[in-house]
Amino acid sequence: MNSPLAKNAKSAILMNINTGEVLFEKNMNKRLPPASLTKIMTLLIIFEQLGMGSITLKDKVKQSPNAESIRGSRVKFYPKEEISVEDLIKCIVIASANNAAVCMAEYIAGSLQEFVTMMGIKARELRLKNTNFLNPHGLDQAGHYSSAYDMAILSREIIKSGEILKYSSKYKDFIKKDSKKPLQLINTNKLLRSHSEIDGLKTGFTPLSKACLSATAKKDNNRVLAIVLGEPNKRTRDLEIMEMLDYAWLKILG
């Protein structure tokens, strides 16, 4: 398709979630660092574990020294503090907290390496042919990559459950609600403030990946997904995502 859409992105895809039809793509199979879009896989495994009853939202998790030392975006927890699984999910989805992703990975699998193995198994199950995850948070690491198409398949899979949207649709939320000092989280997806049809999904940015976003929106019973990888900055990323969504509604709704 010859289109000015996503002209600054290294790769992009626009998908009709209802049908799986690809409405637009640019280098959709190119292997690129996905930054925090990696956390979509982490969250998919978390929600699957919840569905199986292996863990519950009320379970309490302690932050390990490994999680505490992780760099990048994070939510501060006190030493020896116990955090509920639900609060950790909020930290991952809303604040994109790397330490929360490590906490949940270790809690579910016992170690980061075992969780990465689970990520690989799930990637093969979903037939993500251009994906190789080496960590649960998406910080730059040689050999850690995905593609816009694989991220669309992954995003569509997690949207199916509906659980993710309860968290990703909120621009603001609180953790530690029952404590003396509740902590407010602000969503890294600023499009939630200005576009009511958008209710997710995940932002990303690292020095190597640049600005990335998997955004989903719904009008009537129609749901679409727009993904960009490798945008030069967050402002351009958001503008080009909105252009893609506008194109999708024109194509679907006429």
Output the pTM of the full model: 0.96
Confidence of residue 1 (pLDDT cuts 50, 70, 90): very low
pLDDT of residue 162: 82
Contact 173, 185 (CB under 8 A): yes
**pLDDT at position 254 over 80:** no
pLDDT of residue 3: 62
User: In the CATH hierarchy, which fold is given to the domain comprising 11-253?
Assistant: Beta-lactamase (3.40.710)
User: How many residues would you count in the chain?
Assistant: 254
pLDDT of residue 245: 98
Confidence of residue 178 (pLDDT cuts 50, 70, 90): confident
| All structural domains of the chain with their residue ranges | 11-253
What's the pLDDT tens digit per position in 94-144? 999 999 999 999 999 999 999 999 999 999 999 999 999 999 999 999 999
Is 202 known to sit in a ligand binding site? yes
Give catalytic residue positions: 36, 39, 96
